[in-house]
Amino acid sequence: MTTLYHFSNPIVKDKLNKRRLNGVSRKSPQRRSLVDSLGNVPSKSDVHYFADRIFDYLFPNNNRQSTTTNVRYTELMADLKRLLNSLEIDTAYIIQEFSTALPALYGMMISDAKAALASDPAATSLTEVIVAYPGFYATAIYRIAHALLYLNVPLLPRMLTEYAHSQTGIDIHPAAQIGRAFVIDHGTGTVIGATARIGNHVQLYHGVTLGALQVHKSMADTKRHPTIEDHVTIYANATILGGETVIGHHSIIGGNVWLTDSVPPHSQVYHKAEVSVRTKNT
């Protein structure tokens, strides 16, 4: 049943009329306020389109692309302007600053791709990492969103990273601080909280959580998520919690580890599991 048919149905219309006669409005003050606020938000479909378009602009892989780089850049900035206009902010300033930051963002993304190629024996080329690795895509969209958040753009950064989350299963809050040569291998189920700080040359595997010990609303302005220093590897399904938790540089955190305390540099932390194998003759 379509929405149009639903509201044109005589039975439905009669029910709505009865509700109005009984003093029940379809648009309560709360609902009107919500509708008004949603009117100042970019549409999700436009945000999703922009995310994929800026990724394709930075890493074009379509041989049928007939327009020049300058034309595609102009179109991309026009798309960004439309998204920003709905937020009622200084669009011209943000576009100028974002445009200036874009080459550095691209350099960060290339360092991420090179780190993935160097660390993953299954990777055959830089091209494969860029076009096929969900961890690279999620990180690239995070870096774009983080740059916009740094420019005090509301809502749009979170909408961008949530789109990447829906596409990859990797949840990176745009406020997290992540250094160069960052790698998420496989990645499904990885969560990186808003106040997490991650250094350079860090590698995470799937299911890693960098989360908070507590989630009280009163802690919104405090550091709730851990700090991961340079050259740290964290294996699958490890959970590291707490704003005061620091993983020292050059450490290895094994799979399924649960950490709420700091560890010094060059540490190796493993979860010891006992496995019993029984056969028919045992």
Q: What backbone torsions phi and psi does residue 177 show, to the nearest 5 degrees?
A: -110, 120
Q: Quick one: what percent of the chain has pLDDT higher than 70?
A: 84
Average pLDDT over residues 97-107: 97
The residue type found at 107 is G
Average pLDDT over residues 63-89: 84
281 has pLDDT over 60? yes
Determine, yes or no, domain membership for 13. Answer: no
Please, what's the largest Cα pairwise distance for the chain?
78
Determine, yes or no, domain membership for 24. Answer: no
The pLDDT score that the predictor gives to residue 78 is 96
Least confident range of 66-75, 83-92, 193-202, 264-273? 66-75
Determine, yes or no, domain membership for 58. Answer: yes
The pLDDT score that the predictor gives to residue 33 is 62
Specify whether 163 is located in the same domain as 198.
no
Specify whether 108 is located in the same domain as 214.
no
Q: Please name the residues in contact with 82: beta carbons below 8 A apart, sequence gap of 6 or more.
A: 42, 46
Average pLDDT over residues 199-217: 94
Pairing of the two strands 197-198 and 252-253: unpaired
Specify whether 148 is located in the same domain as 227.
no
Determine, yes or no, domain membership for 212. Answer: yes
Average pLDDT over residues 98-110: 97
Q: Distance (Å, rounded) from C-alpha 197 to C-alpha 226?
A: 7
Nearest Cα to Cα of residue 150 among 219, 94, 83: 94
Specify whether 161 is located in the same domain as 246.
no
Q: The domain spanning residue 227 has which CATH number?
A: 2.160.10.10
Given 169, 197, 214, the domain boundary residue is: 169
Given 169, 202, 223, the domain boundary residue is: 169
129 token code pair: 């990492």
Model pLDDT for residues 44-74, shown as the tens digit of each residue: 999 999 999 999 999 997 655 556 788 889 9
Q: Please name the residues in contact with 128: beta carbons below 8 A apart, sequence gap of 6 or more.
A: none
Specify whether 216 is located in the same domain as 110.
no
Model pLDDT for residues 114-125, shown as the tens digit of each residue: 999 999 999 999
Specify whether 254 is located in the same domain as 160.
no
Specify whether 153 is located in the same domain as 252.
no
Which structural domain, as residue segments, surrounds residue 77?
Answer: 41-169
Model pLDDT for residues 5-52, shown as the tens digit of each residue: 443 455 545 554 555 445 444 556 555 565 556 667 899 999 999 999
Specify whether 48 is located in the same domain as 153.
yes
Determine, yes or no, domain membership for 157. Answer: yes
The pLDDT score that the predictor gives to residue 21 is 47
Specify whether 164 is located in the same domain as 227.
no
Specify whether 212 is located in the same domain as 274.
yes
Determine, yes or no, domain membership for 5. Answer: no
- The string of DSSP letters for 194-220 reads TT-EE-SS-EEETT-EEE-S---GGGT
Given 169, 200, 233, the domain boundary residue is: 169
Q: Distance (Å, rounded) from C-alpha 148 to C-alpha 60?
A: 22
How many other β-carbons are positioned within 10 Å of the β-carbon of residue 165?
18
Specify whether 49 is located in the same domain as 146.
yes
Specify whether 72 is located in the same domain as 162.
yes
Model pLDDT for residues 147-171, shown as the tens digit of each residue: 999 999 999 999 999 999 999 999 9
Look-up of token digits 């700080």: 197
Q: Is 234 left (phi over 0), alpha (psi -120 to 50) or beta?
A: beta
106 has pLDDT over 60? yes
Determine, yes or no, domain membership for 9. Answer: no
Q: The domain spanning residue 70 has which CATH number?
A: 1.10.3130.10
Q: How many domains does the chain have?
A: 2
Determine, yes or no, domain membership for 98. Answer: yes
User: Is the CB of residue 166 less than 8 Å from the CB of residue 172?
Assistant: no
